[in-house]
Structure 1
Protein backbone atom coordinates (compact mmCIF):
# COMPACT_ATOMS: atom_id res chain seq x y z
CA UNK A 1 0.00 0.00 0.00
CA UNK A 2 1.35 3.43 -0.96
CA UNK A 3 1.86 5.90 1.93
CA UNK A 4 -0.69 8.70 2.14
CA UNK A 5 0.81 12.06 1.35
CA UNK A 6 -0.36 15.24 3.04
CA UNK A 7 -1.29 16.76 -0.32
CA UNK A 8 -3.76 13.90 -0.83
CA UNK A 9 -5.31 14.22 2.63
CA UNK A 10 -5.10 17.98 3.15
CA UNK A 11 -8.60 19.49 3.58
CA UNK A 12 -9.79 21.55 0.62
CA UNK A 13 -11.11 24.21 3.03
CA UNK A 14 -7.55 24.91 4.23
CA UNK A 15 -6.00 25.33 0.78
CA UNK A 16 -7.09 28.98 0.25
CA UNK A 17 -6.03 29.81 3.81
CA UNK A 18 -2.56 28.36 3.23
CA UNK A 19 -2.37 30.16 -0.13
CA UNK A 20 -3.20 33.46 1.60
CA UNK A 21 -0.63 32.77 4.31
CA UNK A 22 2.01 32.14 1.65
CA UNK A 23 1.05 35.32 -0.19
CA UNK A 24 1.28 37.30 3.04
CA UNK A 25 4.75 35.89 3.72
CA UNK A 26 5.86 36.80 0.19
CA UNK A 27 4.52 40.35 0.60
CA UNK A 28 6.23 40.75 3.98
CA UNK A 29 9.50 39.52 2.47
CA UNK A 30 9.24 41.98 -0.44
CA UNK A 31 8.45 44.91 1.87
CA UNK A 32 11.67 44.11 3.71
CA UNK A 33 13.49 43.99 0.35
CA UNK A 34 14.67 40.41 0.87
CA UNK A 35 15.16 38.15 -2.11
CA UNK A 36 13.96 34.57 -1.96
CA UNK A 37 17.60 33.52 -1.70
CA UNK A 38 18.15 35.94 1.23
CA UNK A 39 15.15 34.41 2.95
CA UNK A 40 16.34 30.87 2.21
CA UNK A 41 19.77 31.67 3.67
CA UNK A 42 18.21 33.07 6.85
CA UNK A 43 15.88 30.09 7.19
CA UNK A 44 18.68 27.64 6.40
CA UNK A 45 16.62 26.04 3.61
CA UNK A 46 16.83 25.96 -0.16
CA UNK A 47 15.28 28.66 -2.34
CA UNK A 48 12.76 26.13 -3.67
CA UNK A 49 11.47 25.67 -0.11
CA UNK A 50 10.88 29.43 0.09
CA UNK A 51 9.01 29.26 -3.23
CA UNK A 52 6.83 26.46 -1.81
CA UNK A 53 6.39 28.40 1.46
CA UNK A 54 5.17 31.45 -0.45
CA UNK A 55 2.68 29.28 -2.34
CA UNK A 56 1.30 27.98 0.96
CA UNK A 57 2.45 24.42 0.36
CA UNK A 58 1.28 22.27 3.31
CA UNK A 59 4.35 20.03 2.95
CA UNK A 60 6.55 22.86 4.28
CA UNK A 61 6.98 22.34 8.01
CA UNK A 62 5.31 24.58 10.54
CA UNK A 63 8.78 25.26 11.92
CA UNK A 64 9.76 26.84 8.61
CA UNK A 65 6.64 29.04 8.64
CA UNK A 66 7.46 30.03 12.25
CA UNK A 67 11.08 30.80 11.34
CA UNK A 68 9.89 32.95 8.41
CA UNK A 69 7.71 34.92 10.83
CA UNK A 70 10.67 35.30 13.20
CA UNK A 71 13.06 36.45 10.43
CA UNK A 72 10.62 39.24 9.61
CA UNK A 73 9.86 40.15 13.24
CA UNK A 74 6.29 38.83 13.07
CA UNK A 75 6.61 35.91 15.49
CA UNK A 76 4.29 37.46 18.09
CA UNK A 77 1.44 37.01 15.62
CA UNK A 78 1.89 33.26 15.93
CA UNK A 79 0.94 33.43 19.59
CA UNK A 80 -2.45 34.96 18.85
CA UNK A 81 -3.50 32.18 16.49
CA UNK A 82 -4.41 29.82 19.34
CA UNK A 83 -4.99 32.44 22.04
CA UNK A 84 -7.77 31.52 24.47
CA UNK A 85 -9.51 34.86 24.01
CA UNK A 86 -9.91 34.12 20.28
CA UNK A 87 -11.04 30.52 20.77
CA UNK A 88 -14.85 30.35 20.72
CA UNK A 89 -14.77 26.78 22.04
CA UNK A 90 -12.65 27.78 25.02
CA UNK A 91 -14.87 30.79 25.71
CA UNK A 92 -18.01 28.63 25.66
CA UNK A 93 -16.45 26.06 27.98
CA UNK A 94 -15.29 28.81 30.34
CA UNK A 95 -18.82 30.28 30.49
CA UNK A 96 -20.30 26.85 31.28
CA UNK A 97 -17.83 26.44 34.10
CA UNK A 98 -19.06 29.57 35.89
CA UNK A 99 -21.05 29.09 39.10
CA UNK A 100 -24.83 29.63 38.99
CA UNK A 101 -24.60 32.19 41.80
CA UNK A 102 -21.91 33.89 43.84
CA UNK A 103 -22.24 34.08 47.62
CA UNK A 104 -20.28 35.96 50.21
CA UNK A 105 -17.93 33.62 52.03
CA UNK A 106 -18.98 32.49 55.49
CA UNK A 107 -16.86 33.69 58.41
CA UNK A 108 -15.62 30.11 58.96
CA UNK A 109 -14.34 29.82 55.39
CA UNK A 110 -12.39 33.05 55.76
CA UNK A 111 -10.28 31.39 58.43
CA UNK A 112 -9.51 28.54 56.09
CA UNK A 113 -7.78 25.54 57.60
CA UNK A 114 -6.17 27.39 60.50
CA UNK A 115 -5.89 25.24 63.60
CA UNK A 116 -5.81 27.07 66.91
Structure 2
Protein backbone atom coordinates (compact mmCIF):
# COMPACT_ATOMS: atom_id res chain seq x y z
CA UNK A 1 0.00 0.00 0.00
CA UNK A 2 1.30 3.44 -0.90
CA UNK A 3 0.70 6.74 0.76
CA UNK A 4 -2.40 8.75 -0.15
CA UNK A 5 -0.20 11.34 -1.88
CA UNK A 6 1.51 8.76 -4.08
CA UNK A 7 -1.83 7.13 -4.92
CA UNK A 8 -3.24 10.50 -5.93
CA UNK A 9 -0.17 11.31 -8.04
CA UNK A 10 -0.34 7.93 -9.83
CA UNK A 11 -4.03 8.40 -10.55
CA UNK A 12 -3.32 11.86 -11.98
CA UNK A 13 -0.48 10.41 -14.09
CA UNK A 14 -2.79 7.68 -15.40
CA UNK A 15 -5.48 10.23 -16.20
CA UNK A 16 -2.92 12.34 -18.10
CA UNK A 17 -1.63 9.32 -20.05
CA UNK A 18 -5.22 8.47 -20.99
CA UNK A 19 -5.85 12.05 -22.07
CA UNK A 20 -2.71 12.09 -24.21
CA UNK A 21 -3.71 8.79 -25.81
CA UNK A 22 -7.23 10.01 -26.59
CA UNK A 23 -6.00 13.32 -28.04
CA UNK A 24 -3.82 11.35 -30.43
CA UNK A 25 -6.72 9.08 -31.35
CA UNK A 26 -4.88 5.90 -30.36
CA UNK A 27 -6.86 2.90 -29.13
CA UNK A 28 -5.72 1.04 -26.02
CA UNK A 29 -4.98 -2.08 -28.08
CA UNK A 30 -2.89 -0.11 -30.60
CA UNK A 31 -0.94 1.63 -27.86
CA UNK A 32 -0.29 -1.71 -26.18
CA UNK A 33 1.05 -3.28 -29.38
CA UNK A 34 3.30 -0.32 -30.15
CA UNK A 35 4.62 -0.23 -26.57
CA UNK A 36 5.15 -3.99 -26.43
CA UNK A 37 2.73 -4.62 -23.58
CA UNK A 38 -0.81 -5.85 -23.07
CA UNK A 39 -4.02 -3.79 -23.25
CA UNK A 40 -4.76 -4.69 -19.64
CA UNK A 41 -1.42 -3.18 -18.55
CA UNK A 42 -2.23 0.06 -20.39
CA UNK A 43 -5.64 0.11 -18.68
CA UNK A 44 -4.00 -0.49 -15.29
CA UNK A 45 -1.56 2.35 -15.92
CA UNK A 46 -4.39 4.68 -16.88
CA UNK A 47 -6.16 3.80 -13.61
CA UNK A 48 -3.06 4.63 -11.57
CA UNK A 49 -2.07 1.09 -10.60
CA UNK A 50 1.26 1.27 -8.73
CA UNK A 51 2.19 -2.21 -9.95
CA UNK A 52 2.87 -1.06 -13.52
CA UNK A 53 6.61 -0.90 -14.09
CA UNK A 54 8.42 2.30 -14.90
CA UNK A 55 9.86 0.65 -18.00
CA UNK A 56 6.35 0.09 -19.30
CA UNK A 57 5.52 3.72 -18.57
CA UNK A 58 8.63 4.77 -20.50
CA UNK A 59 7.65 2.59 -23.49
CA UNK A 60 4.16 4.10 -23.52
CA UNK A 61 5.58 7.62 -23.30
CA UNK A 62 7.84 6.85 -26.28
CA UNK A 63 4.80 5.88 -28.32
CA UNK A 64 3.01 9.05 -27.23
CA UNK A 65 6.07 11.18 -28.00
CA UNK A 66 6.38 12.29 -24.38
CA UNK A 67 9.45 10.38 -23.21
CA UNK A 68 11.40 13.62 -22.66
CA UNK A 69 8.92 14.50 -19.92
CA UNK A 70 10.00 11.38 -18.02
CA UNK A 71 13.59 12.61 -17.93
CA UNK A 72 12.40 15.92 -16.49
CA UNK A 73 10.51 14.35 -13.57
CA UNK A 74 13.37 14.90 -11.18
CA UNK A 75 15.51 17.69 -12.53
CA UNK A 76 18.21 18.20 -9.93
CA UNK A 77 18.83 21.72 -11.22
CA UNK A 78 15.34 22.63 -10.00
CA UNK A 79 15.56 20.77 -6.67
CA UNK A 80 15.59 23.75 -4.30
CA UNK A 81 15.82 21.68 -1.12
CA UNK A 82 18.61 19.48 -2.48
CA UNK A 83 20.57 22.49 -3.72
CA UNK A 84 20.21 24.22 -0.35
CA UNK A 85 21.39 21.13 1.54
CA UNK A 86 24.36 20.72 -0.79
CA UNK A 87 25.36 24.35 -0.38
CA UNK A 88 25.12 23.98 3.39
CA UNK A 89 27.53 21.03 3.35
CA UNK A 90 30.10 22.76 1.14
CA UNK A 91 33.35 23.55 2.88
CA UNK A 92 33.76 27.17 3.84
CA UNK A 93 36.63 28.99 2.20
CA UNK A 94 39.24 30.14 4.63
CA UNK A 95 41.89 32.77 4.26
CA UNK A 96 45.15 31.68 2.79
CA UNK A 97 48.40 32.35 4.58
CA UNK A 98 49.41 34.90 1.96
CA UNK A 99 46.15 36.82 2.45
CA UNK A 100 46.72 36.89 6.21
CA UNK A 101 50.23 38.30 5.69
CA UNK A 102 49.01 40.97 3.27
CA UNK A 103 46.35 42.08 5.73
CA UNK A 104 48.88 42.25 8.56
CA UNK A 105 51.31 44.28 6.46
CA UNK A 106 48.52 46.62 5.46
CA UNK A 107 47.74 47.22 9.15
CA UNK A 108 51.40 47.91 9.86
CA UNK A 109 52.14 44.69 11.72
CA UNK A 110 55.30 42.76 10.96
CA UNK A 111 56.18 39.12 11.43
CA UNK A 112 58.25 40.06 14.48
CA UNK A 113 55.17 41.53 16.19
CA UNK A 114 53.26 38.25 15.90
CA UNK A 115 55.31 35.15 16.80
CA UNK A 116 52.73 32.77 15.27
CA UNK A 117 53.23 34.11 11.76
CA UNK A 118 56.13 32.69 9.77
CA UNK A 119 57.98 34.92 7.33
CA UNK A 120 57.49 33.26 3.90
CA UNK A 121 60.82 34.68 2.66
CA UNK A 122 62.80 33.20 5.50
CA UNK A 123 63.14 29.82 7.07
CA UNK A 124 61.43 28.62 10.17
CA UNK A 125 62.59 25.80 12.40
Q: Deviations over 1:52-96 (max 9, x none)?
A: 111111011111111111111111111111111222332112321
For the pair 1:54 / 2:79, whether they are aligned, the reply is no
Q: Bigger relative contact order, structure 1 or 2, given CA contacts below 8 A and separation 6+? A: 1
Aligned to 1:18: 10
Gaps of 5+ in 1: 1-8, 107-116
Normalising by structure 2, we get a TM-score of: 0.68
Q: CA RMSD in A?
A: 2.0
- 1:83 to 2:75 alignment: yes
Give me the whole-angstrom Cα distance separating, in 2, the residues matched to 1:23 and 1:103.
56
Deviations 1:2-38 (A, max 9, x none): xxxxxxx222221111000000000111111100001
**Between Structure 1 and Structure 2, whose CA radius of gyration is higher?**
2
Partner of 1:67: 59
State TM-score, norm by structure 1.
Answer: 0.73
